[in-house]
Amino acid sequence: MNLQDIKQRFGIIGSSPALDRAIDIARQVAPTDLSVLITGESGTGKEVFPQIIHQFSTRKHGPYIAVNCGAIPEGTIDSELFGHEKGSFTGAHEARKGYFEVADGGTIFLDEVGELPLATQARLLRILETKEYIRVGSSKVQKTDVRIVAATNVNLQQAIEKNKFREDLYYRLNTVPILLPALRERKEDIYILFRKFAADFAAKYRMPVIKLLPDAEQLLINYYWQGNVRQLKNIAEQISIIEKTRDISGDILARYLPHISGGNSLSLVKPEGSGSGNSDFSERDLLYKVLFDMKKDMNDLKKVVHDIVQFNQGSISNLSNDDVQILNRIHNEADAENAATGVILHPNKNGFVNNNPAQNYNEPIVVEETLSLSDKEKEMITKALQKYKGKRKLASEELGISERTLYRKINEYNIKE
């Protein structure tokens, strides 16, 4: 059976090379018993591919069971998958077969396999390696002959690094990987999918089919589609039911696409083209927001410092030299952030003065410095000599100067060792 026949049989729409590649891999791996791991974003249609693999395998007459691992509570997942014995836990009034026992001879599809608890992952690994499992509350080893196909929208490599997924299980499941492309990577398929969904909903609700005007079609194709095919289908259904007009313009479509317009919402629309002159709107807006927040934080910090100074009668002469240096650095960083607004604190001999009279905290902040450069140098040399008990070689190495220079400075400042 060729690709087009498979698409028609399983309701797959699209002709992107990445989609065709995924279907071709599923068709080729189907006759084997190799484990398959299907990855892709939520809403890309991962649930269709295990059915393709099962229907084209030698197990097609056996059972096919799809299990959503993320929807089963952690306390009951082992019982659901492997079964339990009567009385093995509260509420276990009778023995129960698990999915691996029911699917013996067939295929089991583990959707959202990345959500499995670590203890359950160990049990699953045993089935993959030995075809053996044990019911909850039992000590009897049972055998099962099941083909496992797993899917996830979680980055399992990152989950392994965070110790949330077993590395050995990952490599057993990932014998044959199938990657499904996101809808935004299949731009040639977006409009075709929308038309199919629109026609289906028109027949379902017995109403005329909606049509997209050229500006709406362009907007549809360039939208980011974070929810992929599932989101596109929901949008088509909403417009079909709510809108009275059947000719949909770009303005009408924009009302149904999240974050397209309004306030400070971040746009998820990608600009047309892919050249270097085009930028990602979402990243740009996010950067602007971070910069504005940073500017606000620095202004708030400056006001807090001003209020503290005012509380101490306008002087900070009682602060230590280290505190004064920290304050100087704060003002320098704040000035760098606010240079564009004209709010700058200029240092002078009296301290820092705000050059913007509109601010209500533009009084000078006085910083009194009592030590000259020579006094500082003398103090550091004295401390170094005291630290090394008069040993000039060690003191000069600590200060980063030659021993000869140190000897000259000792004589110059008349330092008593």
SS3 assignment for 69-133: HHHCCCCCHHHHHHCECCCCCCCCCCCECCHHHHCCCCEEEEECHHHCCHHHHHHHHHHHHHCEE
Do 346 and 381 reside in the same domain of the chain? Answer: no
Do 345 and 225 reside in the same domain of the chain? Answer: no
pLDDT of 367 reads: 43
User: 69: helix, coil or strand?
Assistant: helix
- 37 located within any domain: yes
Do 218 and 348 reside in the same domain of the chain? Answer: no
Do 48 and 61 reside in the same domain of the chain? Answer: yes
Q: Which amino acid is at 102?
A: V
Question: Is the pTM above the cut of 0.75?
Answer: no
The number of angstroms, rounded, from the C-alpha of 307 to the middle of its chain's C-alpha atoms is 40
Residue with tokens 């704060």: 330
370: tokens are 């009592």
pLDDT of 35 reads: 96
| Number of domains the chain contains | 4
pLDDT of 385 reads: 86
What are the Cα distances from residue 266, in Å, to 37, 185, 252, 262, 287? 34, 21, 19, 9, 11
Do 132 and 83 reside in the same domain of the chain? Answer: yes
385: tokens are 């000599």
Residue with tokens 């289908």: 233
DSSP state of 398: H
Q: Residue 236 and residue 210: Cα distance in Å, rounded?
A: 9
Q: Residue 110 and residue 103: Cα distance in Å, rounded?
A: 12
pLDDT of 18 reads: 95
Do 26 and 125 reside in the same domain of the chain? Answer: yes
- Closest Cα to residue 147, out of 115, 173, 112? 173
338: tokens are 């606010």
Structural domain of residue 101, as residue ranges?
Answer: 3-181
Q: Residue 58 and residue 40: Cα distance in Å, rounded?
A: 26
- 362 located within any domain: no
Do 104 and 72 reside in the same domain of the chain? Answer: yes
312-351: b (≥16 Cβ within 10 Å) or e: eeeebeebeeeebeebeebbeebbebbeeeebbbeeeeeb
pLDDT of 269 reads: 46
Q: Which residues contact 149 (CB under 8 A, 6 or more apart)?
A: 35, 36, 38, 49, 50, 53, 54, 107, 108, 109, 110
- 365 located within any domain: no
Q: Which residues contact 127 (CB under 8 A, 6 or more apart)?
A: 100, 133, 144, 146, 148
- Closest Cα to residue 98, out of 144, 149, 129? 144
pLDDT under 70: residue ranges of the chain: 260-373, 417
94: tokens are 């009778």
Q: Which of 254, 271, 297 is the last residue of a domain?
A: 254
Q: Residue 50 and residue 66: Cα distance in Å, rounded?
A: 9
Dihedral Cα 311, 313, 316, 320, nearest 10 deg: -80
Q: Which amino acid is at 340?
A: A
152 DSSP β-pair partners: 39
171: tokens are 């490599």
107 sits in the region (left: phi over 0; alpha: psi -120 to 50; else beta) called beta
Q: Which amino acid is at 101?
A: E
- 360 located within any domain: no
Do 135 and 51 reside in the same domain of the chain? Answer: yes
Do 43 and 149 reside in the same domain of the chain? Answer: yes
Q: Residue 176 and residue 29: Cα distance in Å, rounded?
A: 8
- 268 located within any domain: no
Do 325 and 378 reside in the same domain of the chain? Answer: no
pLDDT digits (tens, 9 = 90+) for 95-137: 999 999 999 999 999 999 999 999 999 999 999 999 999 999 9
Do 244 and 140 reside in the same domain of the chain? Answer: no
Q: Which of 131, 154, 181 is the last residue of a domain?
A: 181
pLDDT of 111 reads: 96
pLDDT digits (tens, 9 = 90+) for 363-375: 444 444 445 667 7
